Amino acid sequence: MTSIKDSPTSIKDSLTSIKDSLTSIKDSFTSIKDSLTSIKDSFTSIKDSPTSIKDSPTSIKDSLTSIRLSTNVPIIYLTGA
């Protein structure tokens, strides 16, 4: 008779264990999703890098022009050319 009395508790514990397992699986999928998002963002960053590199010389030229205009120093002295 003791085993029948303990049965509801055992069932409750089993259900709690199943719930915890499902929560763990959900957390794992969330982690996988976050990792995939991070990888996607990395590829997007890599894809955008050539544009950023291509724009760098223009940005440097604009910066040197700005320095030249603010200091009246010819750009040839700043670049060493």
Q: What is the pLDDT of residues 10-21, one digit of tens each?
A: 889 999 999 999
Residue 63 pLDDT: 81
Sequential pLDDT tens for the chain (81 residues) = 457 777 888 889 999 999 999 999 999 999 999 999 999 999 988 888 887 777 788 888 888 777 777 776 555 655 555
Residue 52 amino acid letter: S
Q: Does residue 22 sit within a domain?
A: no
Q: What is the pTM of this model?
A: 0.51
HSE of 65, CA atoms in CB hemisphere, 13 A: 6
Cβ atoms of 53 and 46 within 8 Å: the answer is: no
Q: Does residue 47 sit within a domain?
A: no
Structure tokens at 20: 């915890």
Residue 55 pLDDT: 77
Structure tokens at 16: 């709690």
Report the domain count for the chain. Answer: 1
Q: Does residue 80 sit within a domain?
A: yes
Q: Does residue 25 sit within a domain?
A: no
64: domain range?
56-81
Report d(CA 41, CA 71) in Å as an integer: 41
